[in-house]
Chain A
Amino acid sequence: AQSVTQLDSQVPVFEEAPVELRCNYSSSVSVYLFWYVQYPNQGLQLLLKYLSGSTLVESINGFEAEFNKSQTSFHLRKPSVHISDTAEYFCAVSERGKKSSGDKLTFGTGTRLAVRP
């Protein structure tokens, strides 16, 4: 079984400031890691994923996350946020390469990023 912890329920930040959203996970098996973003009244959109290879992954809109196996973390960062980044961000894990586990995702409780002008 896996679990995901997002310690910060809300992160207020000023526009153009850097931000880090923290995610730690617990699992007895190897996992894939994801960050999803949810805007009001919408579903979840995949922001970025770590499946294998380089531990630093980047999204097209300036976010990046680094997989740290020893610290079981997958923190999300952006060097300069915009008002439009205001949304809820969810960290999620799934079991690596196990067909029987299917596509089940275990989510954290989410972090609401509030960008102020």
Chain B
Amino acid sequence: KAGVTQTPRYLIKTRGQQVTLSCSPISGHRSVSWYQQTPGQGLQFLFEYFSETQRNKGNFPGRFSGRQFSNSRSEMNVSTLELGDSALYLCASGQGSDSPLHFGNGTRLTVT
């Protein structure tokens, strides 16, 4: 079974631009979560989607948004990028709260 796939692996953007990150979950997984990892703040939960509906949301500004498609693939969008948005963005897929999450290798976003 293929693992969680995130594209692209690396991204460099300029302040003020917007960016879209993509995540393909493990086949059969209906839940997709997004996390931001930075040296200062560690791993922080962004949001979770299940069957195309946002089920949970973390404490991030509205510039961070996401969506999930009918095939469970998910995208995350960040608008009006700030320098502080530079981070590793990790996507994880799962089958429910009784089973562990499986993570992709992440997209490293650098904002200049």
Contact = CB atoms under 8 A, between A and B. Distances in A.
User: Range of interface residues on chain B?
Assistant: 20 to 34
A45 to B, nearest CB: 7
Interface stretch (A15-23, A64-72, A97-105): A97-105
Nearest to B3: A43
A104 B43 CA distance: 12
Interface string A80-117: 00000000001000111111111111111110000000
Interface in B86-100: 90, 92, 94, 96-98, 100
Given A100-B55, A101-B97, A110-B42, A43 B48 contact: no
A36 interface: yes
Given A103-B92, A104-B48, A106-B45, A45 B103 contact: yes
Given A104-B48, A109-B42, A97 B103 contact: no
Contact of A44 (B45, B50, B56, B103): B103
B101 to A, nearest CB: 6
B98 A51 contact: yes
B103 A36 contact: yes
Nearest to A104: B56
A102 B56 contact: yes
Given A103-B56, A103-B92, A105-B45, 19 more contacts: A32-B98, A42-B106, A43-B105, A44-B90, A44-B92, A97-B98, A99-B96, A99-B97, A101-B97, A102-B31, A102-B48, A102-B97, A103-B31, A103-B33, A103-B96, A107-B35, A108-B42, A109-B42, A110-B43
